[in-house]
Amino acid sequence: MNLRATLRLAIQALVRNKARSLLTMLGIVIGVAAVIVTVAIGAGARVSVQQSIASLGSNLIVVQPGSVTQGGVRTGFGGASSLTPQDGLAIAQLPGVAAVSPIVSVRSQVVAGGNNWQTQITGVAPTYTFIKAWALASGRFLSESDVASIAKVAVLGQTVVTQLFPGGESPIGKTVIIKGSPFTVIGTMTVLGQSGMGQDQDDVVLVPYSSAMERLTGLTTVNLLMISAATAAQVNPVQSEVVSLLARRHRITPPQPYDFQVRNLQAFAQAASSTGTVMELLLAGVAAVSLLVGGIGIMNIMMVSVTERTREIGLRMAVGARARSILNQFLTESIVLSTIGGLIGVVVGVLGTILVALLAKWPTLIPPGWIFASVGFSAMVGIFFGYYPAQKAAHLSPIEALRFE
């Protein structure tokens, strides 16, 4: 028989026993749906982590003060007061550097009219929005002239806007008091959300770093320098150049320890991505076990089908059907059963993923490759677990099959 005739006979045989066929497919449906849902949850979590890392900055390199030793006591990283805005300007001239921003941080109470709120005041450069990939919601951002003139201007994160201006009024042009100094609000930022560590990134007031140093801290040094490399491939070379430049500027010669520390987030991002991928595969592997259980169910049902149709097999052999035709017929039934179950499982899995995303508020992502892999794997399950019953049917003795009761 040709493939078309074999397929037609397989479908007819399955339709004759609708309830049994549906119950047999149920194992494959549940298995494929479980794979789709678990992979979507794992992939969504991995992408969420990657987005959290990306929100920290674009090809980010961070320079922070190093450690100092006083009276035999080592202060740890951040203890040295060694980084200056001039270091940032020198780093900005290096090849491969896209942007640099000094960072000056201080926590303080902010007052606007009858409202007040304690928040993080961060002194930054105009390049900060590029480095953080953070867009404005309204107004304008800090400019070079604001930095040069030590202007008393501020840009508010959305959490601060909500707390200081609860009536929904626009804060643009309003005055906020920071450590006794009036700052004019010139803009607001879009919602950035929580960081990977759970910190509210919108609970911040951004001011020129020169203003933060002059009016809020009184220091001549900065807390850290944020650097954005032009491309991801240039992060490591730029990091090496920054170390060499700062060593020269700070007149550090071996074996003197550096009074600064330079780090990038690539290793962290790669580790997080690898962990997410491992978790995704682990979840898929656990769900795939149910596919194997469904495959065993197919084998059991096909064995029952062979036993029930022994006389039919003997009759077909008696009129000239070859063993290969019998093998192909039962194997096709098994493949059709598992493939249809796989397709239904994909639909159920997609609907289940949508339901998880809506009810649990969990980020989900369905990689298209996993959909095709699930259907393909379910078909392979049909071949693997259907081959033995099909081979048994093909090797029945025609005389014994005709005599079977």
pLDDT tens, 338-349? 888 889 989 999
* CA atoms within 13 A of residue 393's CA, in its CB half-sphere: 33
How far apart (Å, rounded) are the C-alpha atoms in residues 327 and 6? 10
User: Domain check: are 68 and 211 in the same one?
Assistant: yes
- My answer on whether 103 and 172 are in the same domain is yes
- Residue 175 and residue 230 in one domain: yes
Longest Cα–Cα distance in the chain: 104
The 10s digit of each residue's pLDDT in 83-115 is 999 999 999 999 999 999 999 999 999 999 889
Of 264, 283, 298, the one marking the end of a domain is 264
**Judgement on whether residues 321 and 237 belong to the same structural domain of the protein:** no
> Do 70 and 45 sit in the same domain of this protein?
no
Which of 30-34, 253-257, 352-356 has the lowest average pLDDT?
Answer: 253-257
Residue 177 confidence (pLDDT): 96
Of the given ranges (80-94, 122-136, 176-190, 298-312), which has the lowest mean pLDDT? 298-312
Task: Kindly write down the DSSP assignment for every residue of 334-361, as one continuous string.
Answer: HHHHHHHHHHHHHHHHHHHHHHHHHHS-
Pairing status of strand 204-208 against strand 136-139: unpaired
Assess whether 23 and 147 both reside in one domain.
Answer: no
The pLDDT, as a whole number, for residue 405 is 52
Give the number of other Cβ atoms within 10 Å of residue 286's Cβ: 12
Q: Which of 264, 297, 326 is the last residue of a domain?
A: 264
Q: Which of 3, 106, 41, 12 is nearest to 284 (CA)?
A: 41
Q: Name the band, by pLDDT with cuts 50, 70 and 90, for residue 178.
A: very high
Please provide residue 97's backbone torsions phi and psi, each rounded to the nearest 5 degrees: -95, 125
Report the pLDDT value the prediction gives residue 73, as an integer from 0 to 100. Answer: 44
- Model confidence at 14, pLDDT cuts 50, 70, 90, reads confident
Peptide bond into 255 cis (omega under 30): yes
Q: How far apart are CA 221 and CA 299, in angstroms?
A: 74
Instruction: Mark whether 368 and 298 lie in a shared domain.
Output: yes
Could you tell me which residue, 77 or 82, shows the higher pLDDT? 82
Q: Which amino acid is at 402?
A: L
Q: Which residue has the higher pLDDT, 376 or 176?
A: 176
Q: Can you give the residue range of the structural domain that contains 238? A: 60-264
Distance CA 60, CA 232 (A): 9
Confidence band, pLDDT 50/70/90 cuts, at residue 125: very high
The confidence score (pLDDT) of residue 383 equals 82
45 and 161 together in one domain? no
> Do both 304 and 392 map to the same domain?
yes
**Residues 230, 196 share a domain:** yes
In this prediction, residues 222-232 reach a mean pLDDT of: 90
* 75 and 200 inside one domain: yes
| Pair 80, 66: CB distance under 8 Å | yes
CB within 8 A of 334, min separation 6: which ones?
Answer: 298, 302, 382, 383, 385, 386, 387, 389, 390
What is the bridge-based pairing of β-strands 115-124 and 175-178? unpaired
**pLDDT tens-digit profile of 273-308?**
676 677 767 777 776 777 777 778 878 877 877 777
Higher pLDDT among residues 380 and 287, named by residue: 380
Answer yes or no: is pLDDT of 236 > 50. yes
Given pLDDT bands bounded at 50, 70 and 90, which one contains residue 365? confident
CA 185, 189, 192, 195 torsion: positive or negative? negative
Give the separation between CA 351 and CA 116, rounded to whole angstroms: 46
Looking at 266-367, list the stretches that DSSP marks H as alpha helix, in order from N- to C-terminal side: 266-308, 310-318, 323-359
| Overall number of domains in the chain | 2
Please give the average per-residue pLDDT across 114-128, as a whole number: 95
Q: Note whether 337 and 21 are within 8 A (CB).
A: yes
**Is the full-model pTM beyond 0.75?**
no
Return the pLDDT at 71: 47
Q: For residue 367, what pLDDT band results from cuts at 50, 70 and 90?
A: confident
Please indicate, yes or no, whether residues 256 and 280 belong to a single structural domain of this protein: no
Tell me what the pLDDT averaged over the chain comes to: 83
Among 264, 280, 313, where does a domain finish?
264
